Structure 1
Amino acid sequence: MHLGHQHMLRRLKDEANARSLPTALLTFEPHPREFFTRSNPPARLSTLRDKLNILQASGLVDYVFVFRFNQRFASMSAQDFIQDVLVRDLKTRYLLIGDDFQFGAARKGNFELLSACPDFVTEAMPSVLVQGERASSTLVRERLAAGDLAAANALLGCSYQISGKVMHGQKLGRTIGFPTVNVHLPHLKPALQGVFVVEVDTPYGRKGGVASLGVNPTVSSSSDYKLEAHLFDFAGDLYGQRVTVHFLKKLRDEERYDNLPALVAQIERDAASAHTYLTSLQREQA
């Protein structure tokens, strides 16, 4: 949820309080772009679970309505969406949309069509600029893909994060002195790839570490993406537990090495770099 979303939800909350109405958010699962580009979907920034947890933590939304985006929904006309979903199902009285919002079959619905509906008031939220650029999910994806975590996190107002359940892996890390937490990734394409300095929220508290997000080309021939984090000064059992990985800084792109000793030597350098960064961060925050 980037800063544009956060400003929008605060505005919605203010309007709801003034009208003595609850706040509600309508979202789709899967994302419409995933539905229409199944062979090459855009990178998913967050899971539905993460999205709901973030919204709950914000305290700005009373209800979230998740609509299954399927062929029937994709074929719904803009006018039917207004009458069947907004008026009949949600009983909308005030609607706040983004300034580029389009909806309905062939994306024919827009602000003008919504404004013509007498059942509710419609307003469009102006764009929110962050460092001179319009805050948007597309821009967050671009910054993450480029490895520019500082810019991505500025757009988000916090560190980018991925949460998931800890799964059993190949257990290669423990044999080379770097046991890892293997986090299940529910989506095929992550928004970022490489080796990163991270902090991981666990049932035992937040732990610093170094993480790899990619296909592990040196030790695996699979094209499946994997998120593996080595936690510093930690030896607990996290299997089956949910953890949240916060990405703080990208160290490098993923690489293929000729042999295991070369990979281990690079992991040692990555861990040292991550230690140095986390130590400097702790000093700044002290």
Structure 2
Amino acid sequence: MHGSPMSFPGFFHRRSHRPARTHQAVTIGNFDGVHRGHQALLQSLQHEGLATAVLTFEPLPREFFQAGQAAPRLSSLHEKVHALRHYGVDQVYCLPFDQTLAQVSAEDFITQILMQQLQCRFLVVGHDFRFGAKRRGDLDMLLHYGRQYGFSVLEQPAFSLDGQRVSSTGIRAALQAGHLDQASQWLGRPYTLCGKIIHGDHLGRELGFPTANIPLNRRPVPVSGIFAGRLRSERGTWIAAISIGLRPTVGGKQMVLEAHCLDADNPDLYGQRVQVELLHQLRHEEKYPDLDTLKAAIARDILNTRHFFAEHPEDLHNPWTTSSH
């Protein structure tokens, strides 16, 4: 074993929905968005009855190194865990990424984390996977240590659709450009934001359009504007006109997500965690001269949302896509 035994106090926070087993098939990465490339990797993780485990990081390494300048995430930690569970992962481990972890050598990452902490017997990594201080660890090192310590390694090739490599960066760019169809195709499901509904200022109700409000002040997101989509909760699913932005007409200072559920009998969702799926961008956010003009714009958004679902009835209750082929 390389070096002396190391301790990682407070590093591991297991989030699981099945009992842990001694030996595990493991993959490592940011898994931002859990897109179809990630899903293909997770399918390869199935191995001879081993429990499947994902090791991810919080914050993401790019957020640590770029200190506030990193691009917005596709998914929060909660959304990532939810998606990983949906795709059949047994155990999700979150390793806090800080200066201590950034200085862990590649050799110690293998022996102390993969072997001692995770009991890895089968490891799946992406084609460009690097790890350890100064990114010294690579596939050749993993294969060498695997032969020494008894775990096998599989390198997953890049996943492409229509000749384009699927990536979190590409999905983020598609979302920022309003190309939700491409983002959904690469994700294998609609782009979804999760959060807990809070009481807002009730402006929507005063205007005649009550909304479910989800604060985004602690999390930059790669989208803004007005969308047609769906709101899912434990109580049901509704089509919705969705606004994501600062609400400039009323002097808003923080990003907020507001969803007006169509044909809903005022469901009481306060305090509930919901999923908001974005299917089509209707327009960009605008600043209007007065509330009457804003009210008219919202009415048009609702009408356009109805038109979208009338033209795309398959989207009324379309479940998540799980295939990565």
Which band: TM-score by shorter chain? over 0.9
2:256 pairs with 218, 226, 237, which one?
Answer: 226
Q: Which structure dedicates a bigger proportion of its chain to helix?
A: 1
Q: Partner letter of residue 65 of structure 2?
A: F
Match of 1:103 in 2: 131
Give % identity: 40
Whether the 8 Å CA contact 1:166–1:242 is kept in 2: the answer is: yes
Match of 1:5 in 2: 38
2:119 pairs with 85, 91, 113, which one?
Answer: 91
TM-score by length of 1: 0.93
Cα distance in 1 between the residues matched to 2:173 and 2:45: 28
Whether the 8 Å CA contact 2:309–2:316 is kept in 1: the answer is: no
Runs of at least 5 residues in structure 2 that lack an aligned partner in the other structure: 1-33, 318-325
Q: Partner letter of residue 28 of structure 1?
A: F
Whether the 8 Å CA contact 1:166–1:243 is kept in 2: the answer is: yes
Cα distance in 2 between the residues matched to 1:171 and 1:277: 27
Deviations 1:148-179 (A, max 9, x none): 00000000111110111001111100111111
SS at match of 2:296: helix
Cα distance in 2 between the residues matched to 1:100 and 1:267: 46
Cα distance in 2 between the residues matched to 1:165 and 1:29: 20
Runs ≥4 residues deviating over 6 A: 283-286
Task: Report the number of matched residues.
Answer: 280
Cα distance in 2 between the residues matched to 1:240 and 1:201: 14
Alignment RMSD:
1.7
Give the stretch that moved more between structures: 244-253 or 261-270.
Answer: 261-270
Whether the 8 Å CA contact 2:309–2:315 is kept in 1: the answer is: no
* 1:202 positional shift: 2.2
**1:234-245 map, 5 Å:** 234=264, 235-245=266-276
Runs of at least 5 residues in structure 1 that lack an aligned partner in the other structure: none
Cα distance in 1 between the residues matched to 2:248 and 2:316: 36
Whether the 8 Å CA contact 2:217–2:255 is kept in 1: the answer is: no
Match of 1:23 in 2: 52
Whether the 8 Å CA contact 1:166–1:183 is kept in 2: the answer is: yes
Cα distance in 2 between the residues matched to 1:215 and 1:53: 27
Cα distance in 1 between the residues matched to 2:297 and 2:287: 11
Cα distance in 1 between the residues matched to 2:67 and 2:214: 24
**1:1-286 map, 5 Å:** 1-13=34-46, 16-17=47-48, 20-59=49-88, 61-117=89-145, 118=147, 119=149, 120-185=151-216, 187-222=218-253, 224-234=254-264, 235-282=266-313
Cα distance in 2 between the residues matched to 1:57 and 1:175: 38
Whether the 8 Å CA contact 1:44–1:187 is kept in 2: the answer is: no
Cα distance in 1 between the residues matched to 2:258 and 2:314: 27
SS at match of 2:312: helix
Q: Partner letter of residue 69 of structure 1?
A: F
Structure 1 pair 153–284 and aligned structure 2 pair: CA distance change class (3 A) = closer
Structure 1 pair 202–22 and aligned structure 2 pair: CA distance change class (3 A) = closer
